[in-house]
Structures are given as C-alpha cells and as structure tokens.
Amino acid sequence: MTWLDVALGPDTNDRASRVPWAPILRDVQVQGVTLRVAEQGAGRPLLLINGIGANLEMWRPAAECLPGRQLIMFDVPGTGASPAMLSYISMRRFAQLVDGLLDEVGLTSCDVLGYSWGGALAQEFAHRAPHRVRSLVLAATTCGLGGRMPVPWAAALMATPMRYYSRTYLRFIAPLVFGSAPHAAADSAHGDARFDRPPSMVGYATQLAAVWSWTSRPWLATLDMPTLVLSGARDPLVRPGNAQLLARGIPDARVHLVDGGHLFLLEQPALCCPLIEAFLDNTKTAAE
C-alpha cells in the first residue's frame, strides 16, 4: 500500500476545461436482460459503475471532468430506465452482466471505476474477469462483510430508497448519511438526476440484498491490477478505515483521502477527477 500524492494544477476548477454532457444512449440485451447504456467521448475506455439506486445521469458532474476518455455508463437492473429483474441476483450474477455488457459494446478490456455499491461490483468483476480490468478505481466503497461498519443511523437510513423520491427527505438525511450539506446533495445536477429517474422498489431491494452478505476480503490479495482507493474523510456511511483495509489487502494499491463526505466524487469532481486521471495516465504509461 502506498499513499498517492498528486499536485493539482491551477486549472483544477476551470469550467472551460470540462467536456459537455452529451452521451449516446441505447438499450442493449445482455444475457436476456435489458440494460440502458450511455457512451461518451473517445480514448482509453473507462467503465463507470454507480452506487445503489443511482441512474447513469448522476455521473454527469464526474463525466464532465474526465476528458480524453471513452466513458461507458449503464443503469443496473431496476435503476434508471433498466427494467428490474424479478428474482434474487447475487453480486456474481451482476458481475456476469458487466462481463456481457463489455462484449456488447465491443470492449476486450477497460479501466473500471466503481462508486460505493458500484465499488463492490467492480471488485467482484475484477475478481471474476481480471483479464478484462486494466486498472481499478474504488471510490467510497468497502470490502463488504469484514469491513468497517457505518455509523448505525447511516446504515438504517440506507435501507429505504426514499432519498430518491423526496428532495425534502434527502436534505434532512444528507448530513447524517453522506456527510454532505443539505443543498449540496439535493439542489445540484446529480440531485436533480436522482429525482428524474428514481430506482424501482424491487430494483433497490435487489441491489441491497446482493451486497448484504457479500465480501471480497478473502480474495482481495488476488486483485493484481493497479488500484486506486479513494475515501472521504467525513464519510459516515463508508468510513475511511475501509479504504485502509482495501489498500492493505490489494497488492498494487494506492490510497488517497479526500476532504469530503460520501458523495465527494459528485460534489467535488473538479478536485477528485484529476486524481483519477493522474492515476489512469500513470498506469497507461507503465503498461506501454
């Protein structure tokens, strides 16, 4: 485990350097499941896997700060515009869908960024199909069972998707669950996106059930791809100790603590995305 120290340039917050949000949307059939997929940009491909209940439009703040890459985003079954699957789905099954998705978009391998729940799925996918993952970015996530537990009220409030249906409710719980200011979570581009396409109750329950008994701790040491672990210093849901645990378990891992809460990648993309870009550029140079 090493600490990543990246100096951010003076143009970190320059809006002129951002790329317009203009993804190409389509539905694809993956192993009999319909997934809504978005692709944007050109360059080395980066697959973005979102948090529980989150639709692909919520990636907009981060996507605008990741130029020079082909971004692939998708709605997990039961979120956004992807229909729910009416049966239990394990994290292994979710990883199989990701594997099939890469086939459908014509990619042999890519970099993978998993956020929160999506970080668990990214780990599972990297474990099941390591040949398809060039490098791994794990943001605000955990190894599951055996990791550091969230504060009790944060875990309890995550049991319901109500924050996707009520802006007032989100403002109320944002400081408790995400360590965010109420307006930063609810009155923003990613806040608007979450209310436009909330998850179905079945879809949310499916994701919750899949991660409830999941763990990556027994096989973390088998993840041999370069990995960046990002954690919010003020995250009550996925506490920073989880980043340390992941970085100690993954052989080629770097860890960086961000001055933010659980939603740091959505609320502070101009600060966090240069860290991700520097890491991905370094892994690309090393591979070449």
Task: Assign residue 209 the CATH number of its domain.
Answer: 3.40.50.1820
Token pair listed for 2: 């090493």
- Predicted local distance difference test score (pLDDT) of residue 288: 62
Cα–Cα distance measured from residue 200 to residue 203, given in angstroms and rounded to the nearest whole number: 5
3-state secondary structure of 110: strand
Query: Residue 286, SS3?
Result: helix
Query: What is the C-alpha to C-alpha distance for residues 37 and 137, in angstroms, rounded to an integer?
Result: 20
pLDDT at 61: 95
- Residue positions annotated with a catalytic role: 116
3-state secondary structure of 12: coil
Q: Average pLDDT of each block of 10 consecutive residues along the chain (288 residues)? A: 40 58 96 97 97 97 96 98 93 98 98 98 98 98 96 93 96 95 86 94 96 96 98 96 97 96 96 96 76
Number of domains into which the chain is organized: 1
Q: Which residues of 243-261 are buried (b: 16+ CB within 10 A; e: fewer)?
A: bbbbbebbeebbbbbbebb
Residues whose CB falls within 8 Å of the CB of residue 65, separated by 6 or more in sequence, listed in order: 18, 19, 269, 270, 273, 274
Q: In this predicted structure, what is the pLDDT of residue 28?
A: 97
SS3 per-residue string spanning 16-54: HHCCCCCCEEEEEEECCEEEEEEEECCCEEEEEECCCCC
Residue 152 CB neighbours (<10 A):
9
The SS3 assignment for 139 reads strand
Range of the domain at 136: 2-287
pLDDT at position 197 is 95
